[in-house]
């Protein structure tokens, strides 16, 4: 299995995030990708290759141009306003701030733009953010091309992650939705039905938003119950799609403390859904923050459970692209990530 990787991810290296009411060093950091890459090489999983640059077209096939231009230009605007520390929002256009029946409008001020596009204060923009997130998207599309041209599977070692980013918003450490960009690229390459399986601890709210009214991309997310956990406002079991997309989205929320036996039941349901959809290709949003020692999560999966997860994914019997998402028990992240990939290859 090829791993696609770019050193450009290092340019996203924030100094602060607001986490549970405290200003802390970001949990999403460059070492995450480095330790996974080291494990891939140590286990001789396969060749590591660099990205190909496919330009903005695959990104704009999923994301609003206004968001993309903001991510590209926002740091320069922040600096022009007289600040060189991490850019974070401090006000948001909640419904009560909008006139009845009016659409929200992007402000001209950089502070207003931050709140307009961001869903949280935990996703800092720094000088190198655009370089990193642009490269992360290209890593995903490079992996997509490998699978689309005949590889059984590929691993896109994306950083920053992407599944919390929607068509016109960012947050949750995510700026561009790498898995969604890859899924759309598969559609544009001719796949009639694509499935996205999100196994990150946190609900893939951005992925849900992007495809919620479509029937060509089935989206399934296993995650902590949004009544208890970030991102809180999406991810409930009753959200099954809308309009043409009704029945083409499946949320499988699980309670704090979930261990493998309960998680396995949800995985089996997800696999059945993917097979029933008749998907031609599978994109896996591979978050490893379900691990028992993850500092910001509350599931109880263990190292060996990720081998089983990979075997379950392999049982879909589909060409598969793995796209790196979360996982913040950094020392264990390489082992857990590679265990999924090894389990898949053995499946």
Judged by DSSP in three states, 48 sits in: strand
Cα separation, 114 vs 91, in Å, equals 8
Report the side by side order of strands in the sheet with 48-49: 48-49, 2-4, 153-156, 320-324, 281-286, 194-198, 217-224, 249-254
Strands (E) in the chain, as ranges, are: 2-4, 17-19, 22-24, 48-49, 153-156, 194-198, 217-224, 249-254, 281-286, 320-324
Q: Checking DSSP bridges between strand 281-286 and strand 320-324, what pairing results, if any?
A: parallel
Active site residue 164: yes
Cα separation, 118 vs 120, in Å, equals 6
- For 80-102, the DSSP string reads HTT--SPB-------GGGS-TTP
Cα separation, 235 vs 227, in Å, equals 9
In the DSSP assignment, the letter for residue 262 is H
Cis, bond preceding 325 (omega within 30 deg of 0):
no
Which tokens is 66 given? 């206004």
Cis, bond preceding 231 (omega within 30 deg of 0):
yes
Active-site choice (9, 63, 163, 164): 164
Give the number of residues written for the chain.
347
* Catalytic positions, written as ranges: 164
């Amino acid at each position: 299995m090829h791993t696609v990787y770019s050193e450009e991810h290092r340019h996203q290296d924030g100094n602060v995030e607001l986490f549970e009411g405290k200003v802390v060093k970001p949990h999403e950091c460059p070492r995450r990708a480095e330790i996974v890459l080291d494990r891939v090489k140590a286990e001789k999983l396969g060749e590591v290759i660099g990205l190909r640059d496919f330009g903005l077209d695959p990104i704009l096939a999923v994301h609003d141009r206004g968001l993309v231009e903001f991510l590209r230009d926002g740091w320069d605007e922040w600096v022009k306003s007289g600040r060189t520390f991490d850019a974070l929002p401090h006000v948001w256009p909640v419904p009560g701030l909008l006139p009845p029946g009016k659409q929200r409008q992007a402000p001209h001020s950089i502070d207003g733009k931050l709140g307009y596009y961001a869903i949280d204060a935990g996703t800092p923009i720094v000088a190198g953010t655009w370089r990193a997130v642009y490269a992360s998207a290209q890593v995903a599309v490079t992996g997509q091309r490998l699978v689309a041209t005949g590889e059984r599977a590929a691993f896109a070692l994306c950083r920053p992650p992407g599944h919390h980013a929607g068509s016109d918003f960012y947050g949750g450490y995510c700026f561009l939705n790498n898995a969604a960009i890859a899924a759309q690229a598969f559609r544009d390459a001719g796949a009639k039905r694509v499935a996205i399986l999100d196994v990150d601890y946190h609900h893939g709210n951005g992925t849900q938003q992007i495809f919620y009214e479509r029937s060509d991309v089935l989206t399934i997310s296993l995650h902590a119950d949004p009544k208890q956990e970030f991102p809180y406002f999406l991810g409930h079991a009753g959200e099954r799609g809308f309009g043409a997309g009704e029945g083409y989205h499946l949320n499988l929320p699980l309670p704090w403390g979930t261990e493998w036996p309960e998680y396995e039941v949800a995985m089996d349901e997800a696999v059945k859904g993917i097979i029933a959809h008749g998907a031609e290709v599978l994109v896996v949003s591979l978050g490893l923050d379900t691990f028992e020692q993850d500092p910001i999560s509350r599931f109880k999966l263990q190292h060996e459970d990720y081998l089983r997860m990979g075997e379950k994914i392999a049982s879909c019997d589909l060409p598969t692209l793995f796209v790196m998402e979360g996982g913040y028990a950094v020392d264990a992240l390489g082992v857990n990530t590679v265990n999924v990939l090894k389990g898949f290859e053995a499946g």
